[in-house]
Amino acid sequence: MALATDAAGLEKNILRPSGEKALLIDGKIASEVVLAEVAAETAARAGKKSQPGLAVILVGENPASQVYVRSKSKAAKTVGFHSVQYDLPEATSEDELLKLIDQLNADPKIHGILVQLPLPPAINSTRVLERVSPLKDVDGFHPFNAGLLSIGDLDRALVPCTPAGSLVLLEKAAKALGVSLAGADAVVVGRSNIVGKPMAQLLLSRNATVTVAHSRSRDLPAIVGRADIVVAAVGRPEMVLGEWIKPGAIVIDVGINRVPGEGVDAQGRPKSRLVGDVAFKAALSRAGAITPVPGGVGPMTIAMLMANTLRAAKLASA
């Protein structure tokens, strides 16, 4: 049952009061614990085993992607990895990108390769993601890793970072509330390959009874209403209403949606704010524990990328 998450001892208490019924699950603290453990293990390898190496590739100038990629490269340096970043122009051809991936696949100093999505429309993302060696696929997007996860081979699978981080938060919250994931009714809202489907597989690996709900599901309020565990990953602001939540349920909100805020900023531009896929305020009075947005699942994604890279380095030298 090895998962990169197992590296995280998470001794610190990541739950804090909200002033309402629900405890808040602090993803920032949890991510710091994971990063500290990865840094400690990396330091302990120094001089004995190869330094974990992460290559991050950005094609084009999508501003949100630029921010993500910078954060990933910086986190890799902070935990002591060999970290390289490729900023390629928008006009990069698919063949050029595939050639770079081939080089990195063959480079013994690189254990993890991440191609930031979305790619420019002229590039076939599926071909690119499938070119990354499954052993260096620290995003866990290659069909080989998706297959390992779906057959429950967590000893070998590299698991996508956002669901892996969500599971760490969920396990910690369940332990603190004295509930077991085994036998629990878990509902995942959203069926993406990046979050919904791998999340469902992870919950299944922990012996939860898993329902995957989606845009065509009938009576979503009733499906969510029976769940002891709700993972919302639909990308629609506050779509899961607070009154749907079963009292005491653990709610993991994967959504990060920018919506109009109130007033204007110093430059006179309309303010915006981030909200999740769950109507947070209303959910606070019903849930047993809930992740805030921001500060919940978000920080865990990069931490799990580091944990996956260390794991890939360990698997390579095993």
The nearest distance, CB 287 to ligand GUN, in angstroms, is: 26
Interface mask (CB under 6 A) for ligand GUN, residues 126-145, using x and -? Answer: -------------x------
42 lines the binding site for ligand GUN (CB under 6 A): no
The nearest distance, CB 317 to ligand GUN, in angstroms, is: 24
Which window, 16-24, 88-96, 109-117, 169-177, contacts ligand GUN (CB under 6 A)? Answer: 109-117
117 lines the binding site for ligand GUN (CB under 6 A): yes
The nearest distance, CB 185 to ligand GUN, in angstroms, is: 27
Question: Catalytic pick from 26, 85, 136, 139?
Answer: 139
54 lines the binding site for ligand GUN (CB under 6 A): no
161 lines the binding site for ligand GUN (CB under 6 A): yes
**Closer to ligand GUN by Cβ: residue 117 or 274:** 117
Amino acid at 267: Q
**Closer to ligand GUN by Cβ: residue 258 or 281:** 258
Residue from 42, 73, 83, 116 binding ligand GUN (CB under 6 A): 116
The nearest distance, CB 116 to ligand GUN, in angstroms, is: 5
Q: How far apart are CA 274 and CA 294, in angstroms?
A: 7
Closest alpha carbon to 109 in 138, 71, 136, 131: 136
Which positions from 62 through 91 interact with ligand GUN, judged by CB under 6 A? none
Which window, 27-35, 112-120, 265-273, 282-290, contacts ligand GUN (CB under 6 A)? Answer: 112-120
15 lines the binding site for ligand GUN (CB under 6 A): no
Question: Catalytic pick from 26, 116, 172, 246?
Answer: 116
201 lines the binding site for ligand GUN (CB under 6 A): no
Residue from 114, 146, 203, 284 binding ligand GUN (CB under 6 A): 114
**Closer to ligand GUN by Cβ: residue 88 or 177:** 88
Q: How far apart are CA 303 and CA 280, in angstroms?
A: 24
Per-residue HEC secondary structure of the chain comes to CCCHHHHCCCCCCCEEECCCCCEEECHHHHHHHHHHHHHHHHHHHCCCCCCCEEEEEEECCCHHHHHHHHHHHHHHHHCCCEEEEEEECCCCCHHHHHHHHHHHHHCCCCCEEEECCCCCCCCCHHHHHHHCCHHHCCCCCCHHHHHHHHCCCCCCCCCCHHHHHHHHHHHHHHHHHCCCCCCCEEEEECCCCCCHHHHHHHHHHCCCEEEEECCCCCCHHHHHHCCCEEEECCCCCCCECHHHCCCCCEEEECCCEEEEEEEECCCCCEEEEEECCECHHHHHCCCCEECCCCCCHHHHHHHHHHHHHHHHHHHHHC
Q: Establish whether 139 is a catalytic residue.
A: yes
Which window, 2-10, 113-121, 170-178, 264-272, contacts ligand GUN (CB under 6 A)? Answer: 113-121
Q: How far apart are CA 227 and CA 146, in angstroms?
A: 25
**Closer to ligand GUN by Cβ: residue 159 or 223:** 159
Residue nearest to ligand GUN (CB): 117
Q: Establish whether 116 is a catalytic residue.
A: yes
CA atoms within 13 A on the CB side of 103: 9
Name the residues annotated as catalytic: 72, 116, 139
**Where along the sequence are the contacts to ligand GUN (CB under 6 A)?**
114-117, 139, 161
